[in-house]
Amino acid sequence: MARKVGFDGKDAPTDGNNKLALPQKTGGEASPRKSIGQGAPSPRKSLNPGVSASPRKSLIPGQAANKEGNEKKTQNKGTLIQQAAASVNADSIFGALRRGQAVNVGFGSIMIEQDLMEVPMFKACSASFVSALAQDASETTKAFSEGQIIQEAGAPGKSMVLLTRGAAQVMKKGEVLMNLKQGDHYGETMLLGLEQVWRVSLVSLSSSMIIEIRRDSFRRILEDFPVEIKQFESFFDVTLDQLFSGTRTNTCDIFTGLSMKTLEVFDEHILRRVFFPGETVLQEGDDSKELVLLQDGMAVLEIAGRNVRTETRGMKERREGRSHAEEDKEEEEDSQDRPACFGELEFLGLSSVRKTEVKALTPCVCRVLHREMVPFIAQEKAIRAELEGSLLMQMFHQNVRSTHHAQSSVLGDFVAAKCSEEFLMFLAGHLEARLHPKGKKMCDLNRDSGSKSLQMVMTGSVTVKGVQGKELPSLGVGGVFGRMTALGVRPRPHDAISFIAAEHCCVEVLHQDVVVRGLEIYQDQRSKILMLEQDKNKGNQVDFVEIVANSRIFSNMSHEFVRELSLSAVDRIFMPGDAIMHQGAVEFSMFIMISGTADVYVTDAKNEDPALVKERLTKPVKGMSRVSHLSAGAICGELAMLGITPTRSATILAASLCILWEVTQDKAMAILDRYPQERELFGAVIIRNLDSSVPARLLQLPLFKSFDRKFRMLLTLYCERHAFFPDQHIIREGEVGDKCWIFNLGPAVLQKRGYAVKTFSPGSQFGCDHMLGINRTYCGSVLAMSVCHMLAVSRSSYLLALEQYPSQKANQQLLRQQRQEAKDLRQAIQRITIRKGIWQRYQGEVAPNKSNNVFFLSEHDLLQRFVKAWHETAKGLHMGRLERVRRRQEVEEMIENWRLKNEANFKKAEHKRREKEILHRNVTERGPLEYLDPKPPSLPSLPRLPKKQTQELVSILKAWPSPRPSPHYNLKVWSLMGQELTQPVGDGGSRLLPMLEGVKRRGPPVKAGQTDAESSGSDSEGDGAEGTATSFSPLASSSRENKAKRLNELMAATQASRASFLG
């Protein structure tokens, strides 16, 4: 039964011979404050005498000394005292370093937090967790001089060491195993409880600073963060079988034939490491000679930048959902779940240069055996005889080199295709070397992995089997087997199915992905290998500028920007079935399909099996749904390139041979620096796509957690949205402002006088004291490290929301808290900048040898820094000129508006004065009333026509023909008016107008000169026809006569005026 090893195992030593007294509590451990040495003055008291007895207390918020609160000194005077005291007493620190003594520096948590954020182990952790860890680690920061031992082998392992300045070496038995540079760490296995004792020594190469993260503090802080517990809980319960997997249990092929006693000796010299996502497990190059055993996790092997192989170990749940057929296929390889081996041939000396690179996709628990330890193992007399006959030592003494003739055999198909020498040299320089023990199946052409590579035998022999197990002629040194189905490379040898190592074999593998990578670089070789006709390929080509210009994001961009973007694109080729991108992968590039087709698949993250999440990062898994189909001209991944989405939202698989253009974020952002208008358009796109995430960010922000929910929702409406690109200033030091900046997406760094002070992650905030009115000028500059989406809450918006939803208690609490935090932050920033300046100033004194001092820059680095500084200065001057022009225009516009407003006010005042005077005269003086006549409206005057044109116009009007009378329109105005006047009074009102011909009228119209009798007679006749009689009184007859007479006079006057007008 396997025994579990916790943080404090029973076999763990309680003490050791360590030159550096480890931080100890009651019970025998020495305090880090006493680790300087006997008689050495305490650096905590010599840094700033008279200001604070402990600089650490003034750096951590909420732990300021009581004496500092009672001191009534101005900030400027305090700053001068700090600078003078630090400069005068810094000799005590560096004097101790020159004497070979460790110095407890006591850096502030803000400075340590920035260093911890860069560690891959804590990159996925929340900002609050890293901040809490930094506050505890501020007590364990130390400085070491050149040659001083940081940790000694055999000492109790209770902490992890993070190198923040300088350089160090990892040594074991006098041999240098690896070098650590600034930002590297060692001892993560002690921090996670996988080991209890330091098995190596750490030695400082130059003046260095380290941060110790203690295991007990890490475990205590972890209890308050459930999300982080899930990230590290898999390391807490590890069995002995898992710790010694690869040697004592699940023995790897390279240790075949060794007894348990010999394996125990190997265990004493094998180191244990933990690599987190993004870290490099094995580095490409000629300096890497170690053997790595992957016990748990997922790692990918890369050659020439392409993923050629993925290894997954320790994921038991990965096989639970497999069918029995799949289990049978992989039973031979995965039944014992042996650790995956990387770097065997370089470790054995069979290959001088490592051509591959291994990176961690998930947290990987590995065991590392360095080549320098093999001679010490071989010196053991009890196992010397056994080692001589083992596979390990046989291969260790061999000298295998692939000749040009051997390489030409594996490249025979490409030589026959008449490929160029450069292309063939590229393929020969990227072959993977692998080791296979006797009896192991090396390749199976029926599997997908066996149809994507060609393998060449370097040593040993291979047994070949065909259909139904038929034995074929074996292969010796120089033999080639395998095939590349997608490239049309025929199987070699013919009718072969499987290949088994007849003896210990070394092979070199040419992967299909490496050939594809070569085709991406050497475009003129595509027609020879992919069998594409040049004319046909030209006909299918798509214009990059046209594709990008028609997309929804780039439609408003200038053609110059799109053309420059096209020059930065890189050709990518994918074979049928290859994954162009994986859902959930962290990538920042855009793809434009030139030719071919691809399918888009998505997986529901809520209902997805957790066992398949890690596997989905490297290959398609079951349960994916096909949602779209891409063809030539399609664009995908543009949101990831802009940094809007941190991970891929879908998986894209090539359905046929696909040629794409890839544009990375780094190249796109470099081009955007020269196109400010396009940068603003991209910023608008980022703001529009991330607007939906604003409410969730403000509702979950700890800063406003004590306020009402309605108050926080109102802030989401009032807050401003901004987008910033890499190296763009969000806030400038000394700038006046009243906004609280909230980081919604992307990291940023706080700088003071050019020194990096603090790193902000999504969910952080800066400038809350400005929003509350505590301070006006910002204490430092904030620069975007990548694409950042920022939310700005101004003081006016905050007060308006507070007025709508009053929360006086929460407001007063926030005010007190931010007043203290702002004070502590400014003091910490000041101390950090002083200490960094002093540290760089005294580097030459502590380490006078410039060749060993990492702080002395080379000419190339100096030139690069100078050009960057010149570019930033020129850019700042240009932006300053634009700002001055803008301000000048604003001032001129304000002056003009002021002048127009004053003129209007003067006219209004003059009008009122005149009105008052007229009113006074009308009241006090006799005479006619005076009026304030309004100014007559100005009518547009018609242009005066010459006399000649006027006469011509009159003649035209005289000769203008009059309209002909219509037979269907019998309306005579004057007759109608006469008829109305002669209508009897007793009749009921006026009649309708006789608009149509044939309408019956009651009486004829009154004619000129007609008498009343005639008129009455005609009326009587009309009435008689209707069978009724009407009688008239003498008074009615006289009135009608007068009206008719008056009508006749009017008609005569009208005709006379008309005749006079025309003639």
pLDDT of residue 1025: 39
User: For the purposes of burial, counting CB atoms within 10 Å of the CB of 659, is it exposed (0-12), middle (13-18) or buried (19 or more)?
Assistant: buried
Query: What's the whole-model pTM score?
Result: 0.65
pLDDT of residue 515 exceeding 70, the answer is yes
- Residue 676's pLDDT band, with cuts at 50, 70 and 90, is confident
**Cα–Cα–Cα angle for 194, 199, 201, rounded to 5 degrees:** 130
pLDDT in the model for residue 739: 93
pLDDT at residue 808 in the model: 87
- pLDDT for the residue 909: 92
Inter-CA distances, 206 with 111, 844, 848, 913, Å:
21, 11, 10, 87
Contacts of 17 (CB under 8 A, 6+ apart): 152, 154, 155
Among 551-560, 566-575, 654-663, 1042-1051, the range scoring the smallest mean pLDDT is 1042-1051
Q: Which residues contact 71 (CB under 8 A, 6 or more apart)?
A: none
For 117-134, what is the mean pLDDT?
A: 86
Lowest mean pLDDT among 222-231, 587-596, 1043-1052: 1043-1052
pLDDT band per the 50, 70, 90 thresholds, residue 331: very low
Torsion of CA 888, 893, 898, 900, to 10 degrees: 150
Q: Is the model's pLDDT at 1002 over the cut of 50?
A: no
What are the beta bridge partners of residue 660?
Answer: 572, 593
What pLDDT is attached to residue 791? 93
Q: Which candidate, 667, 771, 636, 786, places its Cα nearest to that of 723?
A: 786
Instruction: Name the β-bridge partners of 791.
Output: 721, 742
Rounded average pLDDT over 472-481: 88
Q: 194-198, 549-553, 802-806: which has the minimum mean pLDDT?
A: 549-553
CA distance 1024 to 1002: 11
Amino acid letter, residue 590: M
First-to-final CA distance of the chain: 134
Q: What is the pLDDT of residue 21?
A: 36
- pLDDT given for residue 982 in this prediction: 60
Q: Given phi > 0 = left and psi -120 to 50 = alpha, else beta, which region is 568? A: alpha
pLDDT digits (tens, 9 = 90+) for 141-161: 888 888 889 999 999 988 999
Residues 592 and 545 sit within 8 Å (Cβ to Cβ): no
Within 8 A by CB and 6+ apart from 413, the residues are 489, 490
- For residue 272, give the nearest of 191, 381, 210, 336 by alpha carbon: 191
DSSP string, 297-313: EEEEEEETTEEEEEEEE
Q: Evaluate whether 480 touches 463 at the Cβ level (below 8 Å).
A: no
Does 128 have pLDDT greater than 60?
yes
Report angle CA 706, 711, 712 to the nearest 5 degrees.
75
* pLDDT over 80 at 767, yes or no: yes
Give the per-residue pLDDT at 118.
84
With a pLDDT cut of 70, the percent of the chain lying above it is 69
Residues facing 758 on adjacent strands? 750
**In the prediction, which pLDDT does 906 show?**
92
Residue 740 confidence class, pLDDT cut points 50, 70, 90:
very high
Structure confidence at residue 539 as a pLDDT band (50, 70, 90): very low
- pLDDT score of 966 more than 80: no
Query: Per residue in 607-629, pLDDT tens?
Result: 555 455 555 555 555 567 888 88
pLDDT tens figures, 843-882: 544 444 444 444 445 566 677 777 888 888 888 888 889 8
Cis peptide, bond prior to residue 493, ω within 30 of zero: yes
375-391: per-residue pLDDT in tens?
Answer: 888 887 777 777 776 66
Query: What mean pLDDT is predicted for residues 25-51?
Result: 36
| Number of C-beta neighbours around residue 996 at 10 A | 10
Sheet holding 720-724, edge to edge: 720-724, 788-794, 739-745, 765-766
Please report how the helices 1034-1062 and 973-981 are oriented relative to each other, as an axis angle in degrees rounded to 10. Answer: 160
Could you tell me if 787 and 746 are in contact, meaning their C-beta atoms sit under 8 angstroms apart?
Answer: yes
pLDDT for res 528? 80
Residue (of 772, 770, 827, 794) closest to 719 by Cα position: 794
Q: How far is 116 from 105, CA to CA, in rounded Å?
A: 17
* pLDDT tens-digit map of 680-739: 888 888 888 888 889 989 988 888 888 988 898 999 988 999 999 888 899 998 889 999
Report the DSSP beta bridge partners of residue 299. Answer: 311, 360
Most confident among 121-130, 402-411, 526-535 (mean pLDDT): 121-130
Q: What angle is formed at CA 917 by the lines to CA 914 and CA 922, rounded to 5 degrees? A: 125
Cα(649)–Cα(669) distance, integer angstroms: 22
Proportion of the chain above pLDDT 90, given as a percent? 12
Q: Tell me the Cα Rg of the chain.
A: 46
Task: Give residue 324's pLDDT band: very low, low, confident or very high (50, 70, 90).
Answer: very low
Q: Exposed (0-12), middle (13-18) or buried (19+): which is 39, by Cβ within 10 Å?
A: exposed
Res 976: pLDDT: 58
Residue with the bigger pLDDT between 488 and 320: it is 488
pLDDT confidence bin for 95, thresholds 50/70/90: low
Considering only residues 818 and 488, tell me which one the structure prediction assigns the higher pLDDT.
Answer: 818
Name the more confident of 19 and 596. Answer: 596
- Average the pLDDT over 472-484 and give the result: 87
Per the structure block, which two tokens stand in for 846?
């502590």
pLDDT value of residue 979 = 63
DSSP 235-273: GTSEEHHHHTBTTTBS--GGGTT--HHHHHHHHHH-EEE
Of 19-28, 76-85, 531-540, 793-802, highest mean pLDDT: 793-802
Minimum mean pLDDT range among 312-316, 563-567, 1009-1013: 1009-1013
Query: Torsion over CA of 153, 155, 158 and 159, rounded to 10 degrees?
Result: -40
pLDDT for position 200: 92
Lowest mean pLDDT among 303-307, 411-415, 444-448, 549-553: 549-553
Question: Residues 798-814: what's their mean pLDDT?
Answer: 90
Helix and strand element counts for the chain (H, E): 39, 43
541 vs 791 pLDDT, higher one? 791
Among 353, 361, 349, 363, smallest CA distance to 459 is for 349
Average pLDDT score, the chain = 74
Structure tokens at 772: 């509350």
